[in-house]
Amino acid sequence: MKFITDVSIQKKLIRVIMLTSGIALALACVLFAIYNFTMFRIGEVRELTSLAEIVGNNSSAALVFDDSQTAKDVLSSLQMDDRIEAAAVYDKTGKIFASFNSNHSEANVFLSKPNSSVNSFTLQKLDIALPIQLHEETIGTIRIISHQKSLIKLLGENGLIVFLVLIVSSIVAYLVSKKLESMISSPILHLSDKVSQVSNNRDYSIRATKTTQDEMGNLIDRFNEMLDRIQEQEIALQGANDRLEDQVEERTAKLKTAISDAERAKIEAEKANQAKSEFLSRMSHELRTPMNAILGFTQMMLKDTQNPLNEIHQTDANHIIKAGKHLLELINEILDLSRIESGQFSVSNQNRHLGDIMEEVLEIIHPTAKKHKIQLTCDMDQFQNIYVFADSVRLKQVIFNLLSNGIKYNNPDGSVKVIQEITRDKQAVKLKFIDTGPGIPSDKLKDIFEPFNRLEADKTAIEGTGIGLSICEKLMEMMGGNLKVESAVGVGSEFSIEMPIGKPLKNEDKVKLSPQEPEFKNVEISDNCSILALYIEDNIDNLALVQRIVSDIPAIKLISAPRAKLGIELAKAHRPNIVLMDINMPEMDGFQALKQLQLLEETNDIPVIAVSANAMEKDIEKAKQAGFNNYITKPIEIHNFISVISQTLGKQVKITQ
Ligand code: ADP
């Protein structure tokens, strides 16, 4: 590209100079030739005219005296001039009187008298005719024809001169233009070269050299100024870039530190969470184990018909059970809260009929409302065709908590009303729990979702843990809804939950919602039914409790082992109908023992029930996956204990009352 541009500039320049000078020169030469030609012709005509005048005058006497020989002689004098080809004298009538022909002239050249003074002037010939006068009377005509060889020669010489001048001047013009080219095009080429360098290398420090003070020099000055400004901007930009890079580097370093800090903190938090979760699960286990004995034996004392407790002791035993249950509730709630907070808790949202859920909760809560003399109003018609997308177990837990609070924190003969609404955007269902309790001061409202904050309730006899609402709030959030409260002191409180609206249920969902649990309550078993149960348990109190429970069931015979190994030997030897297995045991735990039983031919068909103080869902799930047929959590609830054994055996077991 550069090459083409360079060449074309040079060529163009030379061509322009050559063309203009050539045209000017050619024009001058042509004008010069025309001038020469014209001047030559004027001279010829003038010369021939004067010659004709002289010859005419000399022939006048011959004409007057009709002496043609004299006239011929006069004419023959013309042979001295080698230009003259022919000449003739005509008489008055136009007839040829005398003529002269040079030896190279054509014949019959003077057949007629010419009409005008100049007959013709061609490149070959000049033909002139003049009247011959005597005393102002025309007595004849003289005509002379000369050839124009000199004119042709002159033209040839002129052409040659023009040609030579053009050639010489073209060479000179070429040489001059070559010289000029370096003067004019060099700065342009230099500038073009610099522009290419700048654009190719992005090097704004390059400058063009000014060599002339003309427009070109001016252009180079402007170009250099432009480069100055670009370079300044470039330097400023570079500086800004450098600063930016420094900032980015600095911030990246900070970010990296922050990320690694956060990662470290996350790992630590995860470890802490893990430790917390392990601690809670351990604490739960450790608390539940003695509670098992406390609540279990208290239940047995209250049940004992052979040695019945007196009234005072019965009241005391009931107090123990109530306090124990409260402690259990506290343990369960703390576990729930800590699992939610550590992200180990999940909900399983499904389409549910709200009326079904409400019905189940109301059935459980009704006796409590009755006991507190609180009127519980809930129009079941309002739930017709109302479906929610929620975890039914957790939603029941929330509704139960709000209803039980409405009942607990109420005035005598107060009421709790449940109202359902669809939100304006038709995306959610709202359930309001309106009570006529003492209300909550507005400045305390935000504190009620804080774990363990019971406001003033801990100064009253109303039982509670202060955790329920914070769990409910989190559960509602996990289900894609929310929990809100409004209250007016002296009027009452309105707790409301919002949850995503659901779709109508398919038939299979309806079945799932109310699973048919086998009912074993109050069913007799035949007297000859004999069940041999093996209980493997390291804790003597727990062992004693189960022995005590089973002693009331004649159909069950219990053998026991304080260690898993001995338990397996007993199972092999006696092949019991059922094995009750503690999980946390020294030497060999319940899972290992179960595996052994499953491997042995003599024992692999014996159903095994886990009896453990590990009450977390994941523990129960893990045990079921390992192959335990059922799971009983400690503290043992006697009725549930019997029910699970019956269910596992597929037989009904009766406790003697
Ligand atoms: P608790 O086990 O104490 O009932 P909650 O978390 O359920 O724990 O409630 C926290 C506190 O909020 C309660 O101790 C009580 O002071 C207050 N509260 C909850 N529900 C109501 C209500 N319906 N009316 C008045 N106060 C209430």
Residue 635: asked if its preceding bond is cis (omega within 30°), the reply is yes
Confidence of residue 612 (pLDDT cuts 50, 70, 90): very high
Q: How far apart are the C-alpha atoms of 589 and 274, rounded to whole Å?
A: 22
What's the pLDDT score for residue 403?
97
Element (H, E) at 96: strand 96-101
Collect all residues with Cβ–Cβ distance below 8 Å to 388 and sequence separation of at least 6.
Answer: 351, 352, 354, 357, 395, 429, 499, 500, 501, 502
Tokens describing residue 656:
């003697």
For a mutational test of ligand 1's pocket, the pick from 368, 408, 448, 484, i.e. the residue with the most ligand atoms closer than 8 A to its C-beta, is: 448
Q: Are 220 and 209 in contact (CB under 8 A)?
A: yes
pTM, two decimal places: 0.53
Residue 415 CB–ligand 1 contact under 6 Å = no
Q: What is the dihedral of CA 174, 179, 183, 188, to 10 degrees?
A: 50
Beta bridge partners of 499: 429
Collect all residues with Cβ–Cβ distance below 8 Å to 213 and sequence separation of at least 6.
Answer: none
Residue 394 CB–ligand 1 contact under 6 Å = no
Concatenated DSSP letters of 334-394: HHHHHHHHTT------EEEEHHHHHHHHHHHHHHHHHHTT-EEEE-GGGGTT-EEEE-HHH
Confidence of residue 177 (pLDDT cuts 50, 70, 90): confident
Q: What is the dihedral of CA 457, 463, 467, 470, to 10 degrees?
A: -60
Q: How far apart are the C-alpha atoms of 458 and 311, rounded to whole Å?
A: 29
How many beta carbons lie within 10 A of that of residue 633, not counting itself? Answer: 20
In this predicted structure, the answer to whether residue 628 has a pLDDT above a threshold of 60 is yes
Residue 636: DSSP 8-state? P
Residue nearest to atom 23 of ligand 1 (CA): 406
Residue nearest to atom 24 of ligand 1 (CA): 409
Confidence of residue 339 (pLDDT cuts 50, 70, 90): confident
Residue 435 CB–ligand 1 contact under 6 Å = yes
Residue nearest to atom 27 of ligand 1 (CA): 409
Q: How far apart are the C-alpha atoms of 22 and 165, rounded to whole Å?
A: 10
Nearest CA to 427 among 367, 492, 498, 368?
Answer: 498
Which contacts (CB < 8 Å, 24+ apart) does range 447-452 have? 448/485, 449/473, 449/483, 451/337
Residue 465 CB–ligand 1 contact under 6 Å = yes
Residue with the bigger pLDDT between 189 and 131: it is 131
**Strands 350-353 and 137-147, how do they pair?**
unpaired
Nearest CA to 226 among 188, 185, 191, 189?
Answer: 191
The phi, psi pair for 263, rounded to 5°, reads -65, -45
Q: How far apart are the C-alpha atoms of 37 and 43, rounded to whole Å?
A: 10
Q: How far apart are the C-alpha atoms of 47 and 179, rounded to whole Å?
A: 50
Lowest mean pLDDT segment, chosen from 17-21, 140-144, 349-353: 17-21
Q: What is the pLDDT of residues 436-476, one digit of tens each?
A: 999 999 999 989 999 889 988 888 888 888 999 999 999 99
Residue with the bigger pLDDT between 179 and 564: it is 564
CA separation, residue 471 to residues 465, 495, 618 (Å)? 11, 14, 19
Q: Buried b vs exposed e over 109-141: b needs ≥16 C-beta within 10 Å?
A: bbeebbeeeeeebeeebbbbbbebeeeeeebbb
